[in-house]
Amino acid sequence: MLSLLMQNMFAQQNKAILPIPYPPSDNQTKVNLGKILFKENLFSKNNTLSCNSCHMLNKGGDDNIPKYVGLDKKIGLINTPTILNASLNFRQFWDGRVKTLAAVIEDHLHDPTIFANNWETIINRINSDPKLYQAYQSAYNHAMSSTEIKEALTLYINTLLTPDSPFDRFLQGDKSALSEEAKKGFELFKSYGCITCHQGPGIGGNLYQKFGIYKDYFATKKTINKADFGLYNVTGKPEDKYVFVVPSLRNVALTAPYLHDGSAATLEEVIQLMGIYQVGQPIQKFDVPYIVKFLQSLTGKLPNE
């Protein structure tokens, strides 16, 4: 029997890099409700955090710090991934423990370090806030339950796509959309084999891979915590230790610091780490700036806030 990891690798490998689609424009009133809820502090137990506290839409969809600051300002164990294009990922969270956005919301809601809350409280808060109640009524003409709240947020997150990056315009035939440096960077991205893991429309987000294939990344870390174990936390299988969903590289220029532990401050640094741990060959110093230019060309049109 092939392990889950191997099955996934074979099933998913070599998906073509395609442009990011345009956001869907249906379900407007539900999307609007989701958009309002995204920025409300109502999810956290003590009304201090909204989705946007950590997934800041004007900061690339994340928080730009190594590890998230959760409830009561406690520092979490892992880096916040971007919400932009998250709906394209084949699984959610670094360890891929859930598949749907609704399940992400459920996980976050009960997570004692994030919202530490329950649906009853949230439904009461929405019902007793005239603005939120009104938005709910416009979207749904029946009583509120957690299902509708998760649906509205999901539909909104589905619209948080970033089409029209220079790279996508290049893919669609506009050869002048990319600088010569970025084009060379794309060639290097292919020739170094980055594309075997970072692929599909998200340029990542469609398969699992171990971090530390050619060298043990965790051997040099001072402390290892549960979040470093990745997929192992889901399956309990030794071979799934340090296995993560390969992150999407869309808008990656906006989302430093990098990696699940937020340990790499710059693109230059993470490119070198990828060479050592994932490619098995150091990335030549003079190649790095070209790859940076390519990665910068993956910044698309950000959603209207």
Residues 6+ apart with CB under 8 A from 163: 19, 20, 21, 22, 23, 300, 301
CA distance 289 to 268: 7
Please identify, using beta-carbon distances, which residue of 57 and 249 lies nearer to ligand HEC: 249
With beta carbons less than 8 A apart as the criterion, state whether 95 and 234 touch.
Answer: yes
Residue 62 φ/ψ, nearest 5 degrees: -135, -165
Least distance between ligand HEC and beta carbon 2 (Å): 17
> With CB under 6 A as the contact rule, which of the stretches 25-33, 82-90, 118-126, 134-142 interacts with ligand HEC?
82-90
Establish if 186 lies at the interface with ligand HEC (CB under 6 A).
Answer: no
Q: Per-residue x/- marks for ligand HEC, 104-143, CB under 6 A?
A: xx--x-----x-----------------------------
One residue of 17, 57, 101, 135 binding ligand HEC per CB under 6 A: 101
CA distance 225 to 77: 7
Residues 6+ apart with CB under 8 A from 211: 217, 230, 242, 243, 244, 259, 260, 277, 278
One residue of 117, 209, 251, 299 binding ligand HEC per CB under 6 A: 209
The first and second tokens of residue 276, run together, are: 């050592």
One residue of 4, 18, 65, 213 binding ligand HEC per CB under 6 A: 213
Residue 258 region by backbone torsions, left for phi larger than 0, else alpha for psi between -120 and 50, else beta: beta
Establish if 162 lies at the interface with ligand HEC (CB under 6 A).
Answer: no
Please identify, using beta-carbon distances, which residue of 260 and 293 lies nearer to ligand HEC: 260
The first and second tokens of residue 62, run together, are: 């994340």
Beta-bridge mates of residue 92: 98
> With CB under 6 A as the contact rule, which of the stretches 124-132, 136-144, 158-166, 189-197 interacts with ligand HEC?
189-197
Please identify, using beta-carbon distances, which residue of 33 and 283 lies nearer to ligand HEC: 283
Among candidate residues 298, 291, 25, the one with its CA nearest the CA of residue 162: 298
Q: What angle do CA 74, 257, 9 make, to 5 degrees?
A: 105
For residue 261, count other CB atoms closer than 10 A to its CB.
Answer: 22
Establish if 206 lies at the interface with ligand HEC (CB under 6 A).
Answer: no
One residue of 35, 88, 92, 158 binding ligand HEC per CB under 6 A: 92
**Which residues of this protein are in contact with ligand HEC, per CB under 6 A?**
43, 49, 51, 53-55, 68, 70, 76, 78, 80-81, 83, 86, 89, 92-94, 101, 104-105, 108, 114, 153, 189, 192-194, 196-198, 209, 211, 213, 244, 246-247, 249, 252, 255, 258-260, 270-271, 274-275, 278-279, 283, 291
